Amino acid sequence: MSMLIGFIGTGNMGFPLAQHLILKGFKLKVFNRNPKKTSLLVKQGAQRVSNASDVADNGQIVITMLSDDQALEQIALATDDLARRLGPGGIHLSMSTVSPQTARKIAQQHQLFGVSYLAAPVFGRPEAAKARKLWICLSGSQAAKDRARPILEVLGQGIYDFGEDVGAANVVKLAGNFLIISALEAMSEMLTLAEKNGIARAQIMDFISQTLFACPIYQNYGKALIQELYEPAAFRMALALKDIDLVLQTASESRTPMPLANLAHDRMVSGIAKGRGNMDMIAIAKSIREDAGL
């Protein structure tokens, strides 16, 4: 294969993805705000460029994996350089967790230049990215999805197609994050109830995660909660607040009351207020225990 791919954002999540593509024989142009983070990729054959939009070649594919809406908007919306360079037939494969609103705005701008925007946010932490174990949600025009599929198959263990609305995959990503954070709240309240009633936390968590809730989220977060693995953070509370803010913004705009999302939001706000913004988001369990006098 010798498809030309541009890759913007080679941080914790983007780096292993770019690496997989190189190993599979794709030719990559890479950009990262901090160029050091592309050095190893360059050694492995990638071409480093000095402006984000320089990764784009006419009619080719550019992947972005950035930290938030602002970062993505700055690269893909603030100027039309990226869309212009991609040009007719180009595809912007956007893998960041952003709001559906942002996705739709960028898609609209891209259309003016004949570029297709694909939303392809992922579930999984950096280790999953390394292990090609990401789950990828996908939405956008069918033709673009067909072209992008071989790339995505290199990057994840499953691709889930949510139709042609570019915002759809982002909604699914936010909905999934909401479920994860809700499970964290539920597990933390449950563990506190158990502890205050003399039950060993590890024992009840084992039971729960081997039976009714024998699935990755309850097993992995359950273990982290029992071991109180607050630092170093796998996913910082400050980022979790950003995600839950996107959930609530999408909920508010679509007129959907979500009391459980509000509860999760307040847990993150409180945790950050208490100085735990750099701890893992599971540190909301600390507040839940404090509320119970522990």
Residue spans of alpha helices (H) in the chain: 14-23, 39-43, 69-76, 81-86, 100-111, 126-130, 142-155, 168-196, 201-210, 216-227, 237-253, 259-273, 284-291
Least distance CB 57 / a second copy (angstroms): 33
CB of 108 to a second copy, least distance (A): 17
Closer Cβ to a second copy, 57 or 245, answer by number: 245
By beta-carbon proximity to a second copy, the closer residue of 45 and 207 is 207
d(CA 108, CA 60): 18
- Our CB check for a second copy shows the closer of 77 and 269 to be 269
Q: What is the Cα–Cα distance from 280 to 237, expressed in whole angstroms?
A: 5
Cβ count within 10 A of residue 232: 9
How many C-alpha atoms does 173 have within 13 Å on its Cβ side?
30
| Least separation in angstroms between CB 37 and a second copy | 28
Which of 24, 173, 223, 274 is an active site residue? 173
Interface residues for a second copy in 77-136 (CB under 8 A)? 100, 123, 135
Q: List binders of a second copy among 159-188 (CB under 8 A).
A: 160, 162-163, 165, 167-168, 171-172, 174-176, 178-180, 182-183, 185-187
Concerning whether 173 is annotated as a catalytic residue, the answer is: yes
Site for a second copy in 232-251 (CB under 8 A): 245, 247, 250-251
Burial zone of 264 (CB within 10 Å; 0-12 exposed, 13-18 middle, 19+ buried): buried
Which listed range, 1-9, 15-23, 60-68, 204-212, lies at the site for a second copy (CB under 8 A)? 204-212
What backbone torsions phi and psi does residue 139 show, to the nearest 5 degrees? -155, 155
> By C-alpha distance, which of 112, 111, 104 is closest to 139?
104
Instruction: Please give the residues from 251 up to 290 whose contact with a second copy meets the rule CB under 8 A.
Output: 251-252, 254-263, 265-267, 269-270, 272-275, 287, 290
230 near a second copy (CB under 8 A): no
What residues act catalytically? 173
